[in-house]
Amino acid sequence: MKILILLWVQLLMFSFFTSSDTNTTSETYTLINATNLAKPNCPSRCGDVIIPYPFGIGYNTNCSIGHEFDVYCNNSTIPPKASFSEADYSSIKQISDSTVRISNDVATNCYLPNGTFSSGFKVWGNYKRSPYTLSEVNKFTVIGCDDYAWLRSRTKFRNVSTDCMVLCSMPEDVVGDQCSGNGCCQSSIPRDMISYRTDVNSMDDSDLSYTRSFNPCSYAFVGEENTFKFNGAADLNDTSLKKTIEAK
């Protein structure tokens, strides 16, 4: 989202929304520094998150410029949670002139120690009917061993499929903290992406009975490139990694 409100057109996960005619690597905070953040008689905060106009808290409250900028504030949580709808699993973390930063969910595949599939979770994101698209500061990241993940997405003009493969037969294969394919893979996302689906799959010919002894789950997500730092082999055996990523 940048300065001209009606031209705000892009989103992140931990997500960013930013306009296509601005530099995605920089942000200004004119809205946040303004004297009057919200319309008169409208709240300007949901917990610790500032909600400046043209956004507004509540539905049909006339606090926003339009329903696409309505923000739901769940005061039953500690701290209160801001999101774009009551049923939204993601939460708004920050709003600036150019960007809305939101949390995102993580796709997973988890296995028993013998390599048998245990559980999986796919992730969808859809902004077709909103003024937002995903910013290019986001990357598609996959963490695990002998797995691959697909990002099936839709831009304003076409369907795009992006894949990332992670390989490692033992923890020692994962050297350092780089997403170079050994334990972690990272790819760019399409420009002007407005919807996507992410899921993780295992390689049929891999020795899962050994690999899963040090890598019980694999993960895939779309998120801001510099928000998550891969910690090498330690992340492969971290059963709380999904929560750690989603909390960024």
- The span from the CA of 136 to the CA of 105, in Å, is 18
Q: What is the pTM of this model?
A: 0.80
Long-range interactions of 37-43: CB distance < 8 A, separation 24+: 38/63, 39/63, 43/73
Percent of the chain clearing pLDDT 90 (strictly above): 30
Across the range 175-180, mean pLDDT stands at 76
In a domain, 21, yes or no: no
In a domain, 125, yes or no: yes
Whether 34 has a pLDDT exceeding 60, the answer reads no
What is the number of helices (H) and of strands (E) in the chain? 4, 16
Sign of CA dihedral 91, 236, 217, 160: positive
In a domain, 148, yes or no: yes
Longest dimension (CA), the chain: 63
Which residue would you say has higher pLDDT here, 88 or 13?
Answer: 88
In a domain, 154, yes or no: yes
Categorise residue 138: left if φ over 0, alpha if ψ from -120 to 50, beta otherwise.
Answer: beta
- The span from the CA of 229 to the CA of 198, in Å, is 20
pLDDT reported for residue 4 = 27
pLDDT reported for residue 82 = 94
Q: Are residues 107 and 199 in contact, defined by beta-carbon separation less than 8 angstroms?
A: yes
Q: What is the mean pLDDT of the chain?
A: 80
Q: What is the pLDDT of residues 220-236, one digit of tens each?
A: 999 888 888 888 889 99
**In which band, very low, low, confident or very high, does the pLDDT at 44 lie, cut at 50, 70 and 90?**
very high
Question: Who contacts 142 (Cβ-Cβ below 8 Å, separation ≥6)?
Answer: 148, 149, 164, 165, 166, 184, 185, 186, 200, 218, 219, 220
Distances (CA, A) of 96 to 59, 109, 166: 21, 34, 35
Task: Select the highest-mean-pLDDT range: 53-57, 154-158, 211-215.
Answer: 53-57
In a domain, 140, yes or no: yes
- The span from the CA of 40 to the CA of 42, in Å, is 5
- What residues make up the domain containing 121? 107-246
In a domain, 30, yes or no: no
Domain count, the chain: 1
- The span from the CA of 5 to the CA of 188, in Å, is 27
In a domain, 36, yes or no: no
**In which band, very low, low, confident or very high, does the pLDDT at 7 lie, cut at 50, 70 and 90?**
very low
In a domain, 127, yes or no: yes
In this structure, which amino acid lies at residue 139? K
Question: Who contacts 71 (Cβ-Cβ below 8 Å, separation ≥6)?
Answer: 46, 51, 55, 56, 57, 58, 64, 82, 83, 84, 92
Whether 32 has a pLDDT exceeding 80, the answer reads no
Burial environment of residue 36 by CB neighbours within 10 A (0 to 12, 13 to 18, 19 or more)? exposed
